[in-house]
């Protein structure tokens, strides 16, 4: 798992040193562990004084001072000014150096890519949203994606170009432990992450799109102190990102969260997974488009009709826009879908008793049009004692959840943060 980038700066080298897991002798090992703990603590709590750091990590002030000085020498920490005093000498605040490392998130959607860059202090430095792209399981589509990534990097100002890691979010089945993607770009023996690493020269991780969005929302979005959170990604399919005890839950092979394919209905619609009765067959964006077409064929009217014809292809975003413009048919259909999603989520609530359920993904942009039917389905279908515990909220990062989550995963995986 070791990988050093000799071409890169001294700062990077010290990051790799501190976070490598080579076995070294007692004292040196402990110092490295302490440095890691300090970086971790600074990451969690922001700028901190030496006294606080010493108390938090149970090490003495002189020891803390010497470690901090080493980290300053490494270029990873710097003096960030003085604390406001309440009587007594003002303490120096120490914090991470934002520009000492950068991390990249690539959020691959059906018809576009969102791509962004995060610094060491978790600020989103740049992001390019909606870069046109057509996702398909072909070599051409993969090459196109690589080109988008490379263009993004080469357009970056020199100061932000030492990128330590990339995380790419893909829909479908992704094993983020070994870097295999099963639904897309599974062309070689080696894991997809390795292929990308070899092309870009940058350490690469893969993650399922819904999990990455959940992670972003968890760390930089709507979540405050909650530790058990579910993120429901309402898009063409239905995804689920599970955060348990503050960490992503992936299951044995990274296939956890296949919420869209739980057998909740007794219909005859064949899902693209091959089974019948999946939640997705009746409650996804895909289903919404199907239902919409059916209604139109039956003679219903909608603002989306132009000279009695529907745009082709009919994008989900059009239906969402129409809903927000109070198109009656769309509103009705969204309500119907919401009630079914709610029934699905009530299963989750009974099983997880979560603190928070976040509605994200493109369908969540219909806001209350979808939240209210979901909420009332929850009251109908889940145990009230359990349900009362659970808040149902809309995503705060919206379309940026994936990029930010991806960047954070790249960062936290590389630095082996919990």
Partner DNA sequence: TGAGTTAAATAAAATAATTTAAAAACTATT
Partner DNA sequence: AATAGTTTTTAAATTATTTTATTTAACTCA
Q: How many CB atoms lie within 10 A of CB 136?
A: 13
Cross-strand pairs, 247: 244
How far apart are CB 251 and a copy of itself at their closest, in Å? Answer: 3
Q: Is 203 near a copy of itself (CB under 8 A)? A: no
Are the C-beta atoms of residues 220 and 397 closer than 8 Å to each other? Answer: yes
Q: Is 353 near DNA (CB under 7 A)? A: no
How far apart are CB 365 and DNA at their closest, in Å? Answer: 47
Pick one of 7, 23, 25, 298: the residue that binds DNA (CB under 7 A).
25
Query: 350: which 2 tokens?
Result: 């009974």
Instruction: Choose among 199, 195, 204: nearest CA to 165.
Output: 204
Q: Is 92 near DNA (CB under 7 A)? A: yes
Pick one of 35, 109, 220, 261: the residue that binds a copy of itself (CB under 8 A).
261
x-or-dash string of contact with DNA, 265-304, rule CB under 7 A = ----------------------------------------
Whole-angstrom distance, CA of residue 50 vs CA of residue 65: 7
**219-248 binders of a copy of itself (CB under 8 A):** 228, 240, 242, 244-245, 247
Query: 196: which 2 tokens?
Result: 């990308």
E-state strands within 133-237: 163-170, 174-175, 180-181, 203-208, 229-234
Residues 6+ apart with CB under 8 A from 21: 1, 2, 416
Q: Is 338 near a copy of itself (CB under 8 A)? A: no
Do strands 238-244 and 247-248 pair parallel, antiparallel, or not at all (unpaired)?
Answer: antiparallel
Are the C-beta atoms of residues 308 and 205 closer than 8 Å to each other? Answer: no
How many chain residues touch DNA (CB under 7 A)? 25
Of 87 and 157, nearer to DNA (C-beta) is 87
Of 92 and 228, nearer to a copy of itself (C-beta) is 228
Task: Burial-class residue 368 by CB neighbours within 10 Å (0-12, 13-18, 19+).
Answer: exposed
The partner in contact with residue 51, picked from DNA, a copy of itself, none with C-beta cut-offs of 5 to 8 angstroms by kind, is DNA
Q: Is 385 near a copy of itself (CB under 8 A)? A: yes
How many chain residues touch a copy of itself (CB under 8 A)? 51
Pick one of 45, 60, 123, 325: the residue that binds DNA (CB under 7 A).
60
Taking the CA atoms of residue 262, residue 266, residue 268 and residue 272 in that order, the dihedral angle to the nearest 10 degrees is 0
Q: Is 51 near DNA (CB under 7 A)? A: yes
How far apart are CB 259 and a copy of itself at their closest, in Å? Answer: 6
How far apart are CB 366 and a copy of itself at their closest, in Å? Answer: 24
Of 63 and 219, nearer to a copy of itself (C-beta) is 63
Q: Is 37 near a copy of itself (CB under 8 A)? A: no
Which among 61-69, 184-192, 286-294, 355-363 is the span making contact with DNA, rule CB under 7 A? 61-69
Which among 28-36, 263-271, 303-311, 344-352 is the span making contact with DNA, rule CB under 7 A? 28-36
How far apart are CB 170 and DNA at their closest, in Å? Answer: 44
Q: Is 37 near DNA (CB under 7 A)? A: no
Q: Is 22 near DNA (CB under 7 A)? A: no
Query: 1: which 2 tokens?
Result: 């798992």
Cis peptide before 313 (omega within 30 of 0): yes
Instruction: Choose among 164, 146, 189, 207: nearest CA to 3.
Output: 164
Residues 6+ apart with CB under 8 A from 367: 324, 394
| Secondary structure, 3-state, 22-59 | CCCCHHHHHHHHHHHHHHHHHHHHCCEEHHHHHHHHCC
How far apart are CB 249 and a copy of itself at their closest, in Å? Answer: 6
Cross-strand pairs, 206: 168
Cross-strand pairs, 233: 239, 360
Write out the residues near a copy of itself by the rule CB under 8 A.
Answer: 26, 29-30, 33, 58-60, 173, 182, 228, 240, 242, 244-245, 247, 249-259, 261-264, 266, 273, 275, 277, 343, 346-348, 350-355, 381-383, 385-386, 389-390
Tell me which residues touch DNA (CB under 7 A).
25-28, 30-31, 49-51, 59-63, 65-66, 82, 85-92
């Amino acid at each position: 798992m070791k990988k050093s980038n000799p071409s890169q700066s001294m700062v990077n080298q010290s990051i790799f040193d501190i976070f490598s897991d080579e076995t070294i002798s007692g004292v040196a090992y402990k110092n490295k562990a302490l440095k890691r703990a300090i970086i971790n603590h600074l990451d969690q709590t922001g700028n901190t004084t030496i006294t606080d750091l010493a108390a938090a990590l149970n090490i003495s002030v002189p020891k803390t001072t010497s470690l901090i000085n080493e980290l300053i020498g490494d270029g990873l920490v710097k003096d960030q000014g003085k604390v406001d005093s309440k009587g007594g000498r003002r303490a120096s605040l120490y914090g991470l150096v934002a520009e000492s490392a950068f991390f990249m998130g690539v959020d691959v959607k059906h018809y576009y890519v969102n791509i962004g860059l995060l610094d060491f202090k978790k600020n989103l430095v740049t992001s390019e949203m909606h870069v046109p792209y057509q996702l398909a399981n072909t070599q051409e589509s993969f090459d196109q994606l690589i080109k988008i990534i490379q263009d993004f990097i080469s357009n970056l100002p020199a100061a932000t170009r030492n990128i330590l890691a990339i995380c790419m979010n893909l829909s479908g089945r992704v094993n983020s432990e070994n870097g295999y993607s099963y639904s897309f770009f599974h062309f070689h023996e080696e894991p997809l992450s390795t292929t990308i690493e070899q092309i870009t020269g940058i350490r690469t991780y893969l993650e399922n799109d819904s999990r990455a969005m959940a992670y972003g929302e968890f760390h930089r979005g709507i979540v405050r102190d909650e530790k058990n959170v579910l993120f429901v990604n309402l898009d063409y399919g239905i995804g689920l990102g599970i955060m348990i005890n503050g960490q992503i839950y992936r299951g044995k092979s990274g296939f956890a969260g296949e919420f869209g394919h739980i057998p909740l209905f007794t219909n005859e619609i064949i899902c693209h997974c091959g089974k019948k009765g999946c939640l997705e067959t009746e409650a996804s964006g895909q289903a919404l488009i199907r239902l919409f077409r059916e209604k139109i064929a039956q003679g219903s009217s909608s603002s989306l009709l132009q000279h009695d014809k529907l745009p082709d292809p009919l994008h989900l975003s059009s239906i969402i826009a129409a809903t927000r413009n109070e198109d009656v048919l769309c509103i009705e259909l969204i309500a119907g879908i919401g009630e079914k999603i709610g029934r699905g989520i009530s299963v989750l609530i009974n099983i997880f008793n979560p603190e928070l359920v976040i509605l994200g993904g493109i369908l969540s942009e219909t806001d209350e049009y979808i939240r209210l039917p979901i909420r009332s389905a929850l009251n109908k279908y889940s145990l009230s004692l359990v349900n009362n515990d659970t808040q149902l909220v809309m995503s705060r990062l919206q379309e940026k959840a994936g990029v930010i989550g991806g960047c954070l995963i790249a960062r936290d995986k590389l630095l082996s943060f919990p």
